[in-house]
Amino acid sequence: MGKSKKNSMVISKNRYETISKLQLINGEYSISHTSCGEYLNGLYKIRYHDLEEIENRCVYDISVLKKVKHENIEIGLIKKIYEHYKKIFLKYNISNYEIEIVEEEGFKAFQNERETLIEPIKRYSINFSVYSLVNTLNYERGFGGTIIDKILDLDNQVEELIKVSLTKSSYVKIDGYFPVIFDNEMTGLFAHEIVGHNLEADIWYMNKKLDERFNLGEKVSTSALNIVDNPLLNTESGTYLFDDEGNAPQLTYLIKNGVINHLLTNEKYSKLFNITNTGNARSISTFYKPIIRMSNTYVMQGQSDVKLLFSSIPYGLYFKGTRNSKGGIHPFIESREVYLIKDGKIDCLLNPMSISENALSLLKKVKMVGNDFEIYGGGKGGCGKYNQFPLPVSSGGPHILLEDVLIYNI
C-alpha cells in the first residue's frame, strides 16, 4: 500500500479553493492536498462548517446545502467499500478488473468588493472497469455525487457489468437506419452532447453563421421532450451554490415542450445577448479561466410506459450505457452495450456501434419519452470542454425512442 502527500498553493484573482483528495485504485491509495488556507485568514472570518455565517454573507438560499452531510470519511471506510465490491469480482473468478474510489473534500471561495462566498465541497465517485476476454473490450461504469450513498449498494450494477463482459457478442450486419432506444445513461449523454454543448452561449455564438445552428424559439422535437440544466440538485456531481464568477446558478430549460428555450450563459454572454445570467461559469480549478459549462443536465421524465417503447419496435436496437462521445452540431456518441430488439423484446448482445448525425436531425427523431428516470455522475468521466477535464457533471433522464437513426459499426 502506498501513500503520498503533496501541498501546493492554488490562487487566481478573487477565487480560492482548498481540496483534499483520497484516491484508491485496487487497494493502493494516495492522498493529495491543494490549499490556499493562509490567504483566508486575512480576507474573511468564515469557518468551513459555519453554515449560518455563510448564509448571512451570501445572496442566495443555501438551504439545499444543509440537507447534505459533509463528513470526514476515513481511509478505513473507503477500504471496506473497495473490499466489498472486490468480492463480487472474485465470485465470478474475474482477475482483470479495476475499482477506483475517489473522495474529495474542501471548499471553494469567491470574493469581490461586496461579499465573500464560501461553499463546502464534498464529492464521492467510484468507477468499475472489467476487460472482456471474449469480446476484447473494456467495459466501464461510474457512479458518484455529493453523498457517500451514491457509491453504496451497487452490487446489482456490478454484477450486470461482469455478466456483460462474460457474454460473447453476436455479429449481426447492421447498416442503415433503425429505430433506437436509449437507456437512462445514453439519454443523459444525448442531453449533454447533442443539446447542452450546442446551447452553451459561447459555442452558440461561434456557430452563428451555420445553417444548422440551434435557433431560439424553434420547434425541434416532440412536445414530450424537456431538457434542463440544474446545478441545484443537492446530491449530484454537478451541483454548486455559486459559479466561478460569484453568481447564483439556476435551473434552465434548454428544450421546453420540444422548443429551443434558453442558452447557458456567464456574465460576458448574458450582457452580450441581454438575457438572464444562468450562473454557468465554471472551471476545473483556479488554474483555469471560468468558461460556460453544464452542471446536471438531463431529460425530464415523460409519460410513455417504457414497455411501450420496446413493444413498438419489430426490429431495432437498444443502446445501453455510455462509452465515447463528442458534442457539437455534428456529434458522435457510442454506447457501452448494444442489443438487438426483435418483436419488441431484447434479443442478443451485439458488437459496438455508434451514432453520428446532425444534432438537429437527431432531435427531430425523438418520438417517445419514457416515464422512468435515473441520473448519473462520478466515475472517471466528466466534461472536457476546451481541455478543462474532468469537470464534475451529472446527466440522465428516462428511456427515449428515436426513429430512423443512422447506425455505424465500429
10 Å CB burial of residue 322 (0-12, 13-18, 19+) is buried
Domains of the chain with CATH codes: 11-165 (3.30.2290.10), 176-409 (no CATH)
Q: What is the pLDDT of residues 143-201, one digit of tens each?
A: 999 999 999 999 999 999 999 999 999 988 888 999 999 999 999 999 999 999 999 99
Q: Is the distance from CB of 365 to CB of 227 less than 8 angstroms?
A: no
Distance between CA atoms of 384 and 400, rounded to whole angstroms? 25
Angstrom CA distances, 256 to 149, 180, 211, 278, stand at 31, 22, 22, 16
User: What's CA 194's distance to the chain center, in Å?
Assistant: 14
Residue ranges of E strands in 223-364: 227-229, 252-256, 259-260, 281-282, 291-292, 296-299, 315-326, 332-342, 345-350, 353-355
Give pLDDT, residue 108: 82
pLDDT band at 65 (very low <50, low <70, confident <90, very high): very low
Give pLDDT, residue 34: 67
Helix (H) or strand (E) holding 79: helix 75-91
Q: What is the pLDDT of residues 200-259, one digit of tens each?
A: 999 999 987 666 789 999 999 999 999 999 999 889 999 998 899 989 899 999 999 999
Q: What is the pLDDT of residues 343-388, one digit of tens each?
A: 999 999 999 899 999 999 999 999 999 999 999 998 887 899 998 9
Q: Is the distance from CB of 389 to CB of 282 less than 8 angstroms?
A: no
pTM, two decimals, is: 0.88
Helix (H) or strand (E) holding 361: helix 359-364
According to DSSP H, which parts of 173-311 are helical? 184-189, 201-206, 267-273, 306-311
- Name beta bridge partners: 200: 264
Q: b/e map of 343-356 (b: 16 or more CB within 10 Å)?
A: eeeeeebbebbbbe
Per-residue DSSP letters for 2-65?
---------EETTEEEEEEEEEEETTEEEEEEE--HHHHHTT----TT-HHHHHHH-SS--HHH
Distance between CA atoms of 216 and 223, rounded to whole angstroms? 15
Whose CA is closest to 118, among 3, 16, 7?
16
Cβ count near 116 (within 10 Å): 19
